[in-house]
Amino acid sequence: VQAFFQPKLLQGKRVLVTAGPTYEAIDAVRGITNLSSGKMGYAVARAALEAGAEVTLISGPVCLEPPRAAKLVNVVSARDMLAAVKKEISRIDIFMSVAAVADYRAISTNKQKTKKTNDKVMLEFIPNPDILEHVATLPRPPFCVGFAAETENLEKNAEAKRRKKKLPLLAANLAQDAIGSDENTLTLFDDEGKNYLPRALKIEQARRLIKHIALLYEKQAE
Ligand code: CTP
Ligand code: CA
């Protein structure tokens, strides 16, 4: 009964979540992408909805049922994702960048299917824009939450990433603990230090993360 009368943690907050991989075309039928199922980002969107937030979910190509209460925007490439984020960002209170954005794209693409030869091929790539960094360095940024997938040196890499992108909060996991799984092990890094979230279903981790965000968000709003 008590819980019913308590306002929800993110009641009325406008939350933007990016999720899934991006896909960067090389030709009409090929491209490069990152290993990402989108499960964590979709869980985060669900947990934010449960917490009373209004949620926009910008998703790369995944095979998941989207949460029906969220506004869904489907994108393919990192540049599409950045454009979709820019459209939404001015009205957003909390930005959660869960997407595994491809760091590079091919310098040139072939509209047709490239035919094979017996020669060796060279592909040239250029860096994609960093969507989270763009948002976090806006003049009046929303509360920004980054994600980091590492394969080694989790703490050192995560803290360096958090500082470089000027983030109040970063959730880090080992790629081998997370990719494709329904479960995840997370460590949260913020100005106060770190918090270890022991292995649990991604939806449970997302709920714990939302609780932590709500606390920090209240503090910085004071
Ligand atoms: N990110 C982003 N746009 C990019 C690359 C990353 O928004 N072009 C975001 C991710 O959504 C994530 C955070 O930045 O929240 C960290 O992504 P990650 O790939 O772990 O870090 P990078 O800064 O790309 O560094 P690296 O891949 O070299 O570890
Ligand atoms: Ca990256």
ipTM: 0.99
Distance CA 102, CA 117 (A): 27
Torsion from C-alpha of 148, 151, 157, 161, nearest 10 degrees: -30
- The question of whether 34 is a catalytic residue gets the answer yes
Per the annotation, binding residues for CTP are: 103, 113, 129-132, 147, 161, 165
Atom of ligand 1 nearest to the CA of 146: 15
Q: What's the CA-to-centroid distance between 134 and ligand 2, angstroms?
A: 14
pLDDT value for 81: 98
pLDDT value for 222: 77
Global pTM value: 0.96
**Ligand 1 neighbour 78 (Cβ under 6 A):** yes
Distance CA 160, CA 137 (A): 16
pLDDT value for 1: 59
Contacts of 38-42 spanning 24+ positions with Cβ under 8 A: 38/62, 38/64, 39/64, 39/180, 39/181, 39/182, 39/202, 40/98, 40/147, 40/178, 40/184, 40/202, 40/205, 40/206, 41/17, 41/96, 41/98, 41/99, 42/66, 42/67
CB 56 within 8 A of CB 17: yes
Test site for ligand 1: of 18, 97, 137, 167, most ligand atoms within 8 A of the Cβ: 97
pLDDT one digit per residue (tens) for the chain, 222 residues: 566 677 899 999 999 999 999 999 999 999 999 999 999 999 999 999 999 999 999 999 999 999 999 999 999 999 999 999 999 999 999 999 999 999 999 999 999 999 999 999 999 999 999 999 999 999 999 999 999 999 999 999 999 999 999 999 999 999 988 888 999 999 999 999 999 999 999 999 999 999 999 999 998 887
Which is it for the CA torsion 79, 48, 34, 21, positive or negative?
negative
pLDDT value for 35: 94
pLDDT value for 3: 64
Which residue CA neighbors atom 21 of ligand 1 most closely?
Answer: 148
**Ligand 1 neighbour 147 (Cβ under 6 A):** yes
Residues with CB under 5 A from ligand 2 (ion): 103
Q: Say yes or no: domain 2-104+123-221 is CATH 3.40.50.620.
A: no
CB 95 within 8 A of CB 145: yes
**Ligand 1 neighbour 134 (Cβ under 6 A):** no
From the list 143, 120, 137, the residue with the least C-alpha distance to 215 is 143
